[in-house]
A and B are shown apart, each in its own frame.
Chain A
Amino acid sequence: MAMLSLALKSLRNRAGSAALTVLTIAISVMLLIGVEQVRTEARTSFANTLSGTDLIVGARTGQTQLLLYSVFHIGNASNNVGWDSYRTIAAHPQVEWTIPLLLGDSHRGFRVLGTNGDYFRHYRYARDRNLVFSSGQPFDDLFEVVLGAQVARELGYQLGQEAVIAHGMGNTSFVKHDDKPFRVVGILAPTATPIDRTLMVSPQAIQAIHLDWQAGVKLPGNSVSAEEAREQDLTPTELTAFMVGLKSRMSTFSLQRSINNYRKEPLQAILPGVALAELWSLMGVAEQALLVISVAVVFSGLAGLLTVLLGSLNERRREIAILRSLGARPWQLLSLLTFEAALLTLLGSVLGMALLYMGIALSQPLFAQWLGLQLDVSLPSARQWIFLALVQAAGILTGLIPGWRAYRYSLADGMTIRI
C-alpha cells in the first residue's frame, strides 16, 4: 500500500531519532517483562521449595508457622513432637517414608538441621528434584556434617574440614559445643531453597551435643567427651517436626485427620501446597509493588515516544501540507502517524525482548547463585504476551495524539506551507 511505503520512507529519513525512540521503548519493555519474569520466578521458586511431601507434622500451632520453621527455617517451634509419636506415625501402613527434622542449633549464623539419610533420599524440591551432592556423600558417622551450597561457599569449607556447632541462633553465640567438632563429609549442589543455608547432621548428633546440657545450660563439671558420647544411647526424646510421604495420595486427608486427632499429644498435620500458597499471599504486597514499578517504567517509555512524535510533528507540518495538497485525506494522515507509532512500539518491543533474553542468558548463573532464582530464556508466558499487547495498544493510542494534531494542523494550515 502506498501510504505504508510512504510511512516507511519517511521514517527512514528520520532514522536517528527513530532509533532512539525504539531504544527507549526497548528498555521499558525489557524492564517490564524482566521484572515480571523475576516476579513469576520468585513465586515459582517459592512454591518449589518443597515438593513430593504429602504432610508436614509438628506440634499444634498455626499452619503458616509450622511451614515457616520446618521448611524455611524461620523462627522456632514453640513445642516439640515426642519421638514415640513420630515412630508411631512413621509405622502407619499408609506411610511410605518420613523425614525427621530437629532444629534449634546453629553454626556461624546458619541453621543446623538434624535429620537422617531419608532426607537425601526423599526430600524433593522444584518439580520432583532430589538433593544432589556437588561433592562428598551423606553423613554416616555421628560427628559428620553435610553442608548446603551457600554455607560451603560463604564459609569457605572444604571436605574434611572441622566445624563447631553453637547452641541457639546467632553468629556469636557464647555457648559453643566446642568439645564435639564435626567433620565435613558432603556438600550439596545449589537448590535455590533454604537448604542452601543449612548444615545437616544426624538426629543422634544433635542428641550427642546436648548430653551434658540441661535446660539450655552447660552443666559444669559434668562434661561428656566425644568418645563417651558414642557409648550412650543417642536416640532423641523429641524432634521439631517431620515430613511424611504417603504410599497413595488418596489417603492424605484421612491420615491428616487422624494425626490432628492424635490422643497422646496435640499434633498438627498440614498440606505443604496449601500452606505455601497461604504464605505467598501474605507476601503479595511486595509482588504488587514490583508490578507497579514496571508499569511506571512503561509509562515513561511511552511518554518518550509521545515526545519524539510530537517533536517531529513540527518539522513534518510541511510534509503533511504537501500530502494534503496532493489529496491525502485526514484519516490517511492520521493512519500515517499512528502506523509510525505502532511500528516504533513493535520494534521497541522486539528489541526489548531480545535485550532481555540476552541479559538473562548472560546473568543466569549469577541469578541462580546469588538470588537462588532460576531464570530461563523461554517464550513469553500468557501474562507476558498480555503485557506486550497492552504496550502495543498504548503505543498505538499514543500515536493517535500526534495523528489528531496533524489533522488539526492540516485544517488550520490549509493549502499553504507554514514553517
Chain B
Amino acid sequence: MQSPAIEIDRLGFAWRPGTDVLNIAELSVQRGERLFVQGRSGSGKSTLLSLMGGIVVPTRGQIRLLGQSMQELGAAARDRFRADHLGVIFQLFNLLPYLSVLENVLLPCHFSSVRRQRVLARASSLEDEAVRLLQRLQLTQPELWGRQVSQLSIGQQQRVAAARALMGGPEIIIADEPTSALDAESRDAFVDLLLQECAGQGTTVLFVSHDAALAPRFDRTLVLETVRLPEVV
C-alpha cells in the first residue's frame, strides 16, 4: 500500500521560542483525497503551507509528504522535493507578469526534471501538455496563450495559475486562498474545474480558505484554531 500523501504527527512550530503559531496533534491525508483547511488569519495557515513546502522545518513533531520526512532532507533537497511533487496556487498575483500565459504554465518544468519527464511520458511535447491543461481549464482561445498575463482577467489568471500548478502532475496541490478575489460564481466554477482535473490525475488537494461555503465540495475539513498557548515543555 502506498504511503499517505500527508502525515502529521504532534506537529508544532514557533518562529520564536515560546510563541507557538501552530499545533496539530495528528493528521493523515490519503492520496487523491481533497482536504479543506479552514481558518481565520493568524490561525497558522501560512505556517502550515511553509512547513508543507519545506521552506521551514517543524520546531517539534513530524511532517511527512509521500512518506518522506521533511526534517530528514537538507534545505536543497527540500527545494527539489517541492519542485518535483508540489503544485502551489496563491491568492493573487500568482503569475510572472513578464511571461506569456504559456511560458507561465511551462515554468515548473524549468525547475524539475521529474515533472518534465512525467509530462513527456504521456504528451508529445511540454507545450502540448500546457495547451491541454489550459483547454481543460476553459482557456480555449489560442490567441490567449501567447498574451502577457497582465492582459487577462483575475478569473483567467487564476485558471492559468491552476494549470501551472497541475503541470507535470505533482502528487500534491496546495491552494492558498485562491478564490478570495473572485466573485461567488467564478469561485465555484474555478473550484469545480480544479477539483475535476485533480480527480482525473489522482492528485491530493489541500485547499486553504476562510470561506466555509466551499467546504461541502471537499472530502474533509480541517479547522485551524488560533493558537494562544504558552510553551509547555
A contact residues vs B (CB 8 Å cutoff): 2-3, 6, 9-10, 12-13, 318-319, 321-330, 410-411, 414-417, 419
Contacts and interface: CB of A to CB of B under 8 A. Distances in A.
B90 A417 contact: yes
Given A322-B95, A328-B79, A414-B46, 19 more contacts: A6-B110, A9-B99, A12-B98, A13-B97, A13-B98, A323-B96, A326-B83, A326-B110, A327-B79, A327-B82, A327-B108, A328-B83, A328-B111, A411-B56, A414-B50, A414-B55, A415-B46, A415-B55, A416-B50
Contacts of B90: 321-322, 325, 416-417
B80 interface: yes
Nearest to A321: B90
A327 B96 contact: no
B92 interface: yes
A396 to B, nearest CB: 23
A285 B96 CA distance: 54
A324 B47 CA distance: 15
A329 B55 CA distance: 10
Given A322-B96, A327-B111, A328-B111, A416 B176 contact: yes
A415 B88 contact: yes
Interface residues of B, number: 36
Contacts of A410: 55
Interface string B101-123: 00100011011100000000000
Given A322-B90, A327-B84, A415 B49 contact: yes
A324 B55 contact: yes
A24 to B, nearest CB: 22
Nearest to B114: A327
Contacts of A6: 96, 99, 110
Given A2-B110, A415-B46, A417-B92, A327 B98 contact: no
Consensus secondary structure, chain A interface: helix
A12 B100 CA distance: 13
Given A10-B98, A327-B84, A417 B93 contact: yes
A6 B96 CA distance: 10
Cβ-closest 5 pairs across A and B: A327-B83, A414-B50, A13-B98, A327-B111, A2-B110
B76 interface: yes
Given A322-B90, A415-B176, A416-B49, A329 B98 contact: no
Nearest to B111: A327
B59 interface: no
A410 B75 CA distance: 13
Q: Which interface residue of A12, A327, A410 has the most chain B CB atoms within 10 A?
A: A327
A404 B1 CA distance: 44
B94 A326 contact: no
B91 interface: yes
B47 A414 contact: yes
A417 B53 contact: no
20 contacts: A2-B110, A6-B99, A9-B99, A13-B97, A321-B90, A322-B94, A322-B96, A325-B88, A325-B90, A326-B83, A326-B108, A326-B111, A327-B80, A327-B82, A327-B83, A329-B79, A414-B46, A414-B50, A415-B52, A416-B176
A327 B83 CA distance: 4
Contacts of B164: 326
A319 B99 CA distance: 11
A314 to B, nearest CB: 13
Interface string B141-176: 000000000000000000000001000000000101
A336 to B, nearest CB: 12
A419 B91 CA distance: 12
A324 B88 CA distance: 10
Contact of B46 (A323, A326, A329, A416): A416
Nearest to B49: A415
A416 B112 CA distance: 21
A324 B96 CA distance: 12
A406 to B, nearest CB: 14
Contacts of B112: 327
A12 B83 CA distance: 26
Nearest to A322: B96
